[in-house]
């Protein structure tokens, strides 16, 4: 789905046959304005959706902007009914996406100066991957593959099903896409390097193990680390010499941030 379809689906889910409360309580001709205010320090994401929800919103802070508590993301004007009916959908998007961007920025800041880049993953909310990856990028993370179609990533179960590292790599030689392979043992690591692998995924290693494996690789392939890496440990992993660290938590465990919609009658 494109962005407009995602927004329309969210509105249809929430409004259904009509916003009963607003239609009963608010006169149809009443005009109002509204402000999206943050109640904590955040990184902004998702403001690209506001023009799909409101007529000519005034965006005060673009995606990627750092805001402190009390600052505005955007203001909107129009029918009070429209502002109220679309309030929750707008907040749901902003709170979720700003939460992802804010968490992504924490990981990016934690590895600053190491030369290692933070990657997002496919561990996203079904149907919202495009939005969540936009938010991760707004926070400074690098987008990994969007889906199963735009890169080859040979994981452990692919290796098992293919019959081994060599068989899996040889089967992808005709692909014009980037090819990355996960290696689980020293034997698989050496076999992948012998086969000319240029992108390696090392999963669930301790930092000291990762550093040792990266010494063996010796710059012959780029290295991605993954597997339960947290804000507390990410710096140690980045200092191993890894090129990338992928963090599923950026999208699957980001906390929705505190954003408030303040309505004022005109």
Taking alpha carbons only, the member of 67, 33, 74, 99 closest to residue 258 is: 99
Check if 182 is active-site: yes
Catalytic residue, chosen from 129, 155, 166, 184, is: 155
Q: Which helix (H) or strand (E) holds 201?
A: strand 199-203
Residue 73 contacts residue 47 (beta carbons within 8 Å): yes
Q: How far apart are CA 30 and CA 175, in angstroms?
A: 60
Check if 150 is active-site: no
Catalytic residue, chosen from 123, 129, 166, 184, is: 123
Q: How far apart are CA 264 and CA 165, in angstroms?
A: 63
Q: Which helix (H) or strand (E) holds 73?
A: strand 72-79
**Residue 175, burial from CB neighbour count under 10 angstroms (0-12, 13-18, 19+):** exposed
Q: How far is CA 51 from the centre of its chain?
A: 21
Q: How far apart are CA 40 and CA 95, in angstroms?
A: 11
Catalytic residue, chosen from 31, 60, 88, 166, is: 88
Check if 88 is active-site: yes
Check if 14 is active-site: no
Decide: helix, strand or coil at residue 108.
Answer: helix
**Bridge partner residues of 225 (DSSP):** 202, 245
Catalytic residue, chosen from 72, 191, 203, 239, is: 203
Provide the annotated active-site residues: 88, 123, 155, 182, 203
């Amino acid at each position: 789905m494109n962005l407009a379809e995602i927004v329309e689906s969210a509105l249809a889910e929430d409004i259904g046959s009509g916003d009963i409360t607003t239609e009963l309580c608010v006169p149809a001709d009443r005009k109002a304005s509204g402000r999206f205010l943050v109640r904590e320090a955040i990184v902004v994401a998702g403001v690209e959706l506001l023009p799909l929800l409101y007529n000519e919103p005034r965006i005060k802070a673009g995606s990627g902007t750092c805001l402190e508590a009390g600052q505005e993301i955007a203001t909107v004007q129009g029918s009070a009914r429209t502002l109220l009916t679309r309030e929750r959908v707008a907040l749901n998007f902003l709170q979720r996406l700003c939460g992802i961007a804010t968490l992504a920025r924490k990981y990016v800041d934690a590895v600053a100066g190491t030369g290692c880049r933070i990657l997002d993953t496919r561990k996203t909310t079904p149907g919202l991957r495009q939005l969540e990856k936009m938010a991760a990028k707004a926070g400074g993370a690098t987008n990994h593959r969007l889906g199963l179609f735009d890169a080859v990533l040979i994981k452990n179960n692919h290796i098992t099903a293919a019959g081994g590292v060599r068989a899996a790599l040889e089967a992808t030689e005709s692909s014009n896409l980037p090819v990355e392979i996960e290696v689980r043992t020293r034997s698989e690591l050496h076999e992948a390097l012998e086969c000319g692998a240029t992108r390696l995924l090392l999963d669930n290693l301790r930092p000291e193990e990762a550093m040792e494996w990266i010494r063996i690789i010796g710059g012959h392939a780029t290295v991605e680390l993954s597997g339960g890496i947290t804000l507390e440990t990410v710096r140690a992993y980045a200092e191993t010499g890894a090129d990338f660290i992928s963090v599923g938590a950026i999208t699957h465990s980001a906390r929705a941030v505190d954003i408030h919609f303040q309505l004022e009658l005109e």
